[in-house]
Structure 1
Amino acid sequence: MGLLNKKQGLIALLLTLALTVSAQVNPSQIFANSYKFESSGDYQKAISELNVLNGYDYHKALRLGWLYYLAKDYENSKKFYNQAISLAPKSTEALLGLCYPLEAQKKTDELETVYKKILSLDKGNSKVNYALGNIYYYRQDFVQAEKYFDIVQTMYPFDYYSTLMSAWTKYFLGKKTDAKRLFNTVLIISPTDQSAKDGLGLLK
Structure 2
Amino acid sequence: MELLNKKTGIISFLLLFSFNLSAQVNPSQIFAESYRYESSGDYEKAIGELNSVNGYDYHKFLRLGWLYYLSKDYETSKKFYRQATELEPMAVEALIGLCYPLEAEKNSEELEKVYKQILTLDMMNSKVNYALGNIFYYRKDFTQAEIYFDKVQQMYPFDYYSTLMCGWTKYFLGKKNEAKRLFNIVLIISPADQSAKDGLNLLK
TM-score of the aligned structures, taking structure 2 as reference length: 0.96
Matches within 5 A, 1:1-204: 1=1, 2-22=4-24, 25-204=25-204
Please state how far the C-alpha of 1:150 moved relative to its aligned partner. 0.3
Distance 1:40 1:10 in 2: 43
SS of 1:37's equivalent? helix
Which piece of structure 1 moves more, 166-175 or 4-13?
4-13
Please state how far the C-alpha of 1:3 moved relative to its aligned partner. 3.1
Letter in 2 for 1:37: Y
Q: Deviations over 1:27-67 (max 9, x none)?
A: 11111111111111111111111111011111111111111
Letter in 2 for 1:73: D
Distance 2:10 2:123 in 1: 62
Structure 1: 5+ residue stretches without partners: none
Q: Deviations over 1:107-147 (max 9, x none)?
A: 10000000000001110000000000000000000000000
Distance 1:102 1:122 in 2: 20
Letter in 2 for 1:180: K
Stretches (4+) displaced over 4 A = none
Structure 2: 5+ residue stretches without partners: none
Distance 1:76 1:52 in 2: 19
Distance 1:73 1:129 in 2: 27
CA RMSD of aligned residues (A): 1.0
Please state how far the C-alpha of 1:5 moved relative to its aligned partner. 4.5
Distance 1:68 1:125 in 2: 25
Aligned-pair identity in percent equals: 71
Please state how far the C-alpha of 1:71 moved relative to its aligned partner. 1.0
Distance 1:79 1:3 in 2: 53
Distance 2:192 2:149 in 1: 22
Please state how far the C-alpha of 1:74 moved relative to its aligned partner. 0.6
Distance 2:41 2:190 in 1: 36
Please state how far the C-alpha of 1:9 moved relative to its aligned partner. 3.7
SS of 1:51's equivalent? helix
Please state how far the C-alpha of 1:16 moved relative to its aligned partner. 2.5
Distance 1:3 1:105 in 2: 66
Letter in 2 for 1:70: L
Distance 2:144 2:6 in 1: 79
Q: Deviations over 1:90-121 (max 9, x none)?
A: 11110000000000000100000000000011
Distance 1:59 1:100 in 2: 17
